[in-house]
Amino acid sequence: MSSCKNQFIMSIGRATFQFCVLAQPIVFGFILGMMYLEKSDQAFTAYVLIGSGIMCFWSSICFSSASDINRERFYGTLENLFVAPSGFEMIVLGKILGNTIWGVFSMIVSACFVLLFFDKNMVVDNVPLLVFGLLAMILSFIAIAFMLAGLFTLSRSARVLMNVMEHPINILCGIVFPLEILPRLVLPISYILSPTWAAKVIRLSIYGGTASDIQTSVFGLLTITLVYCIIAARAFKQIDYKARIDASLGVY
């Protein structure tokens, strides 16, 4: 909890993070709103109201999984966190949770702006499924952040990888447009990413769908989230091994 509280306070002190949390939701909401202004109410709800929020939330996840690890290495404090009594994994998880709270706040900012600025009806066919989809998405993104934090601790190119992966996820996972318009060759990549399944669950809650479609999407989301957790566990074990053998945890 101390790590989460400290991260929550320290993150918002950075100008870049302030932009991501406060300004970016309005920018994304406005751009997507203008793109989908003449579309159906369901499309507007799925890709503007929800899509812009997911994009903002994903940005905060990128910062918590990559930028913070890179920053600790730059400051020379990564080794101190690793040997802290509370455990390196718990400290990293606390950082992720702190940024997750800000990510949820950015989603709320985006939703409020879209609802107030655009005169569109927001349509949801299945409210309980929407709530479940959003909660499952948040948990899945936390798992992604935890996995990436472990992998980026092993990597010396965390900042480059962070910049590369942020916007392609929005494209590959069909967050801001239908996944079906992507080339078939890239769809296998899309379906190994949990945001794809989270977006599917949320769209089913808006457009409606059969019980089979809902079960398949929920199962895909939960399964891939579990896989991310397993990868994260193995990555942190590898971190422990390399730190003890190579003693190069803080080396660029």
pTM for this entry: 0.85
- What are 188's two structure tokens? 């296998």
Residue in this structure with the two tokens 């101390």, named with its chain if needed: 2
Q: CA 228 to CA 192: how far, in whole Å?
A: 10
Mean pLDDT of 12-37: 85
Q: What pLDDT does 245 receive?
A: 72
Q: CA 20 to CA 13: how far, in whole Å?
A: 12
Q: CA 235 to CA 59: how far, in whole Å?
A: 22
Q: What pLDDT does 223 receive?
A: 92
Q: CA 186 to CA 37: how far, in whole Å?
A: 28
Q: What pLDDT does 247 receive?
A: 63
Q: CA 44 to CA 21: how far, in whole Å?
A: 22
pLDDT tens readout for residues 129-187? 899 989 998 988 888 888 877 777 666 665 666 667 777 788 888 888 888 888 888 88
Q: Assess contact for 207 and 125: CB atoms under 8 A.
A: yes
pLDDT tens readout for residues 60-99? 776 666 677 777 777 777 777 777 777 777 888 888 888 8
